[in-house]
A and B are shown apart, each in its own frame.
Chain A
Amino acid sequence: MIEIHNIHKTFGDKKVLDGVSGVFETGKTNLLLGASGTGKSVLLKCIVGLVKPDIGSVTFDGTYFTNNKLDIRQEIRRKIGMLFQSSALFDSMNVQENVEFPLKMLTPDMSKSERMDRVNFCLKRVGLEGSNKKMPSELSGGMKKRVGIARAIAPNCTYLFCDEPNSGLDPLTALKIDELIKEITEEYNITTIIVTHDMNSVIEIGDKIMFLYEGKKLWEGTRDEIMDTDIRELNEFIFANRLMRDAKKVEEEEREEHQENRESK
């Protein structure tokens, strides 16, 4: 379980986070929802320690993280797996080396054969068995995300963070990635936090949702409760998302129709 308390963060004159508090439960997919520029990614970076909050604290399973001793922070960080928006695979390494990397660095006692077993297991778990020797430049967006997930879970992480795992993916691939994250969360009983602005993710995998608006937490609840909320900003966000989805659907239908017409001619 991860608890955040009264997180504030300012960049220059811009207040990005304004007193955000909340609890992210273990074995559940916790979603940080909001439009672009509302501070979701900054909050995620504050939680993992990539950005230091001006005020506020983060606790991992009762252990204080922010401003704690370096050793303790390092110990917690070694339990963290993170999937980045850009996947952040190491360009100079192939798929196998990317997944093996955290094992090499974090578990030096592990033998080469044990590491390879774990790498192959993780790649199989994300549906990428046999892609060991491919370089990141040879992978599609969805495959990169899968390798990113495999790398995150390789050292048996306790906490999984995903920064917009669906960005740049087609709806079907996005759905598969969402499902994979949810399955992994439940299978390994880990605490997962996902940053997203995609309502599809909310509907499909959101066990618990925190809605951010202009750096503040406006709403928190489950996916069953989200449609019944009377928060204007959240309703506007849901409505805009629905409009976008409908527009995409119409566009796809028109494209298919156009394609059929061309083929019939």
Chain B
Amino acid sequence: MLYHFGKYLLFMSTLVVRGESPRILINRTIDEAILIGINSIMIVAIVSTFIGAVTCVQVSYNLTSALIPRSTIGFMVREMTILELAPTITSIVLAGKVGSSIAGGLGTMQITEQVDALEVMGINSASYLVLPKILASLLVFPMLVTLAMFLSIAGGYVAGTLTGALTAQEYITGIRDAFIPYNIVFALIKSVVFAFLISSLSSFRGYNTAGGALEVGAASTTAVTNSVIAVLIADYVCAELLL
């Protein structure tokens, strides 16, 4: 465990030494951001919309007391979505999608000697391949989480009004009730932390792949598991420190 952590820290330090020119770094980051962002929009949209819808239906199911106004459902959907579901669930989904893609891609490059080819040319392969992925994730994850927040609340609205759990007016009153803007900041900070953990851990696992196709698969699996665990731990730490 400590050995791997040490290796991870050394790996991270190689990203910032002997880097390529800013122009190349910016171009590569934009390319990676497009790959990570555009390809993830659909899955984030589906997951977040349904999470919002399910949250609304289940809160409504549990809220049976006549003394509690129905607008509380909207309030709870908003709070759960912004504080926890959008950043964390979106990041866990992205750990599966983006994390495995990063680890698989780098692992394949490693076993097919493409990484060696970069090194022979005098290019810092870690910096060239990994740093843009991390920067792109830091850039794109907050955008995807913002999208997830919006769609999740919209999903709750659709589900709540279609099932007759509450009226549109009640839902809107609920989501506007006692709004704390800091919660949005908190969610975005979490998304940046998760983005860093997922992209760096997956890159670390992929970059250090040795062997053949079997090891690439194993690296992808390990990358996803490590990322998910790291996200959950970081989620708790962020909640303790920032709330």
Which residues of A come within 8 Å of B, CB atoms? 45, 48-50, 70, 74-75, 77-78, 80, 82, 84-86, 88-91, 102, 105-106, 108, 161
Contacts and interface: CB of A to CB of B under 8 A. Distances in A.
B18 A70 contact: yes
B13 to A, nearest CB: 14
Contact of B117 (A49, A70, A88): A88
A86 B112 contact: yes
19 contacts: A45-B116, A50-B119, A50-B120, A75-B122, A77-B119, A77-B120, A82-B120, A84-B116, A84-B117, A88-B114, A88-B117, A89-B114, A90-B117, A91-B112, A105-B20, A105-B123, A106-B122, A108-B21, A161-B120
Max chain A C-beta neighbours (<10 A), residue from B114, B116, B121, B123: B121
Contacts of A90: 114, 117
Contact of A86 (B21, B24, B113, B119): B113
A45 B122 CA distance: 14
Max chain A C-beta neighbours (<10 A), residue from B109, B112, B113, B120: B120
Contacts of B112: 86, 88, 91
A184 B175 CA distance: 72
Given A84-B113, A88-B112, A88-B113, A48 B120 contact: yes
A78 B117 contact: no
A50 B114 CA distance: 12
Contacts of B20: 105
Interface of B: 18, 20-21, 24, 108-109, 112-114, 116-117, 119-123
A74 B116 contact: no
Given A84-B113, A91-B114, A74 B120 contact: no
Contacts of A88: 112-114, 116-117
B120 A80 contact: yes
B88 to A, nearest CB: 31
A106 B121 CA distance: 8
Contacts of B116: 45, 50, 84, 88
B21 A82 contact: no
A78 B18 contact: no
Question: 7 nearest interchain CB pairs?
Answer: A77-B122, A88-B113, A88-B117, A84-B113, A82-B120, A78-B122, A74-B122
A216 to B, nearest CB: 25
Nearest to A45: B116
Nearest to A98: B117
Contacts of B113: 84-86, 88
Nearest to A70: B18
A77 B121 contact: yes
Given A45-B116, A70-B18, A88-B112, 7 more contacts: A50-B120, A88-B113, A88-B114, A90-B117, A106-B121, A108-B21, A161-B120
A78 B114 contact: no
A253 B180 CA distance: 84
Contacts of A108: 21
Contacts of B108: 91
A259 B123 CA distance: 51
Contacts of B114: 88-91
